[in-house]
Each structure stands twice: as C-alpha cells, then as structure tokens.
Amino acid sequence: MKRTVLSLAALAVFASLSLYGPLPSDTLRAAPLPGQGQQQPPAGQPPPQQPTDVKVVINGPPGSPPKLGIAGFIPLSQDAETIAAAQTIGDVLFDDIAYEREYYMIGKDTIRSIPKPTSLNDVPLDRWKEVLADGVIVGTVQKTSTGIVVQFKLIQVASGQQAFGKEYSGSIANPRQYAHTISDELHLQQLGLRGVARTKLAFTSDRDRERMHGTALNRDTKEIYFVDYDGANPRRVTNTTTINVAPAWSPDAQSIAYTSWRSSGAGGFGSYQDIIISNIYKGSRETPANGNPEKQNYLPAWSPDGTKVAFTLSQGGNQEIYVMNRDGSGLRRLTTNPDIDTSPTWSPNGSQIAWVSGRTGNPNIYIMNADGTGQQKLTNENWADRPTWSRGQFNEIAYAARTGAGFDIKIYSFLTGQTTKITDGIGSNESPAFSPNGRHLAFMSTRNGKGQIFTIARDGTDLRQITREGNNGYPNWSQ
C-alpha cells in the first residue's frame, strides 16, 4: 500500500496550547516531532502530493452526490485513551465531511449491521454495496511512545481500489485535529475543494464575566476567543480586563488584529480605541496604529497578502478609512468625508476595498479602489453594515441589513447584481464573516436570546449554533 507520510507539526502546537489555556508566550517551545518537517504549509497551499495519489475519484450516480460511509477508526490497542481517540476521529470526520455537503454521509443506523473491520484491509465491501455506498473510509489509531499514529484509506466500493490514503502522527491531546486534517485533505485530493475543517472562528465574548478594571461603572470585560469551525476547543486570546472586539485573523492564521479600549490615564479611566495585533502562538503584541485619545483606531481588516491593514482612524472624531503597513508605516488616507466612514473589507485580490459610509444618511456599503479612487455606492438599504468580501470562488459581499426591528444577513453578487437575504428575520443577525472557501458564513444572532455565533451555508441553509456561553459577537473566520 502506498502511503504518504505527513507530519502535523502544527498539531503538536495546538495540543500544547490547549493544555496551557490562555496562550502563553512560551507556547512555541512545543517541538515538532523528530524527523518531521518544520511547519504546516501556508493556508490555501496543499502539502506536496504524490502524483500517484490522484488516480481514483469517488463519484456518485449521475446527478447525485457520492455516498460515503465511515466503516470505523480501529484502535490498535485497547487502552481507554486510544479507544476514545479512535471514536472521536471517526465521529468528527463524519461531521466534517457532512458540513461541506459534497458527499451524502450514510448514517450510523443504516450501517449498524455491517461488521466492523479489524484492519485497513478487511472492510466488507459487499455489505457496503448493499447500502449503495460509493466510497468507504476506514482508519486505525495506534498509540506510540510519543503520541499516536493515525492511518486512513478511502476505498472505492465498486472497484475495491484505494482512492486516497495517508498516515499522520502527532500528539494525542486533540484527536479532532486528525479528523479535520483528513477531511480537508480528502476534499482537496478528491474534488480540488478547500474545506474549512481546520479553520477557526474568532469572536468577542463576555463569557468569563470578569469585571473591567478601574471603572466606576459595573461592567463586564469582553475578551477575544477562538474556537474550531464547529465550536469545539475554545481558546482565550486576550486577558486584559478591558473590552476587546472585532478580531480579524491574519491570512496566515498566526495573528489576530482586534480593537481594544486602552487606558490613557491612571486607574483605568479615559480609555480610547486602538488596534492591537496579537501574535497568538508567540504571545507577543503590536500596536501598529499607535493610538491615543485624540487618534483612535478600530475595525482592522488584513489585506489578502497580509502585508497591510485597512482600518478606521478617527482624528478629532472624524472617522476615515486608512491603510497602513502591518508595522504601522506607510499610513495612507483613503476617504475624506466629514460623515462616518468605517468597517473596511478587502476584495480577494486586494485591489479594492468595500466599506460603510453615512455620507448619504443612514449607513450603506460603498466600494473603492485600494488607493481611494473610484468611490461608489453599492447598496440602498435603510441601514447596511459590516461588509465582508468573499475570498472564495463566488464574487460577492455579505453584509447586515436592517429588515425590520432587527437585521438580516444579505449577500450581494457582483456576477448577477442581485441581493439575496439568507437569514430568516428571527432575532437580529449581524456581523457576517465568510469562510475562506466562500461557501459558509459566520454571524452573530440574538435569535436564542443573548448574542451567539452561528454558521450558515451561503444559500441560507444548514444553520448551526457555535457558541452557547455569555454574549458573543464580531465573528471572524480564519483563512
């Protein structure tokens, strides 16, 4: 059997982080596994593939998605940890593949009577044919002195041929990451599709209900957190006893820029908004916009190449869109209107910026070239805010639009010129953020009471609640 060996250096890093909680500065001491590569490839770039890997593609009947089953991940030792890891990997992989909706996942009840395999090589394919499976996944989990080794195969049921297969090794601390990796690589190898299983959602939350430092008024802090795309594995980024909102992932997912209320005086009084870049795995911080009470900065948005940040700079209370280099140099003003200009987002190739302006009354979405020329109005809403430009294959901008008492998420397509409302008017739905493949959005909704983060497919189906604790808002999806 031909297998590619991939090291998950990043996995070891994630695992060690979850042990230490709020991302201390020494987290990078977690070493990659011996004899393996140094780094996960940059987001969006697949690891080097063996050309011989792409041979068999699992197809469904004409007009139908392929049907996939998971025969099981087999623990090769009978200790509780290995058994639990194997179970988790199988369950999470099922959910991960189902999330992209490219495959019809055959339910557990349907396959209950099919005998479980005991190795990668004894899957009863004839039984899988009976439930009309086009492909079946089988895997093993083996404990080693340093962690676990996970192997898996995707088998074409009709031919019995292996369509895809790999071996991974790393820490046992977060078995979900193996499933996420398998799902993403399977979608890429089989369909050329970039999945979102390894992406993260950052957001603001008051879930820890700490008190703001030094203020006279009784106020909760708001800190930045992130979770896996499915809500699992929450991690806290900031520990500031102030409020922090609007996180934005750098394209390499190593840093989060956000808006923080920093203190200008003794005792915490006299705060001002400024942009902080937290290098989350190093524990270091930068304040490139260098704000003060007279020059406040908020709502940062990374350029697609990660070299620049567009943001709102308010000097003397007049908000304008500016762009700076990541280190704060090269500051450039793009708008010059005395009314509000705020909430920028970049086009996928970085040549244009969409933003929100109140220059004609209530806020609406505008677009301009990245040098500030060619400004034009895009929407005609009663109130439109938080544009987010899809970086996926669809050229569209999502935003929050007032549709009554609250807001709904709408998507404007540059291809058709049409605007589609994708939420249902329940509660208020705000702050949309596209997944990197453009197929999903995260947003804040009050539909269940407090503000919670949800994800939804871009066609308005498959609504999922991601957060459940405290008030949450300003979601942002890692690239």
- Give me the sign of the Cα torsion angle 457, 460, 466, 470: positive
Q: For residue 292, list its beta bridge partners.
A: 295
3-state SS, residue 310: strand
Residue number, 11 or 321, with CB nearest to other proteins: 321
Alpha-helical runs (H) found in 164-216: 176-191
What minimum distance in Å lies between the beta carbon of 393 and other proteins? 26
> Is residue 436 a contact partner of residue 192, using CB atoms and an 8 Å limit?
no
What minimum distance in Å lies between the beta carbon of 313 and other proteins? 11
What minimum distance in Å lies between the beta carbon of 430 and other proteins? 5
What minimum distance in Å lies between the beta carbon of 224 and other proteins? 14
- Give me the sign of the Cα torsion angle 237, 469, 425, 382: negative
3-state SS, residue 233: coil
Residue number, 98 or 340, with CB nearest to other proteins: 340
Residue number, 160 or 449, with CB nearest to other proteins: 449
What minimum distance in Å lies between the beta carbon of 269 and other proteins? 4
Residues of this chain that interact with other proteins (CB under 8 A) are 216-217, 219, 222, 243, 245-246, 259, 261, 264-267, 269-273, 293-294, 296, 298-299, 312, 314, 316-317, 319, 340, 342-343, 356, 358, 362-363, 383, 385-386, 400, 405-407, 428, 430-431, 444, 473-474
What minimum distance in Å lies between the beta carbon of 421 and other proteins? 15
What minimum distance in Å lies between the beta carbon of 274 and other proteins? 11
Residue number, 8 or 441, with CB nearest to other proteins: 441
Residue number, 80 or 216, with CB nearest to other proteins: 216
Nearest to 389 by CA among 366, 421, 360, 408: 366
> Is residue 218 a contact partner of residue 211, using CB atoms and an 8 Å limit?
yes
* Buried b / exposed e along 313-345 (16+ C-beta atoms within 10 A): bbeeeebbbbbbebebeeeeebbebeebbbbbb
Residue number, 68 or 201, with CB nearest to other proteins: 201
Torsion of CA 369, 370, 371, 373, to 10 degrees: 20
Residue number, 42 or 265, with CB nearest to other proteins: 265
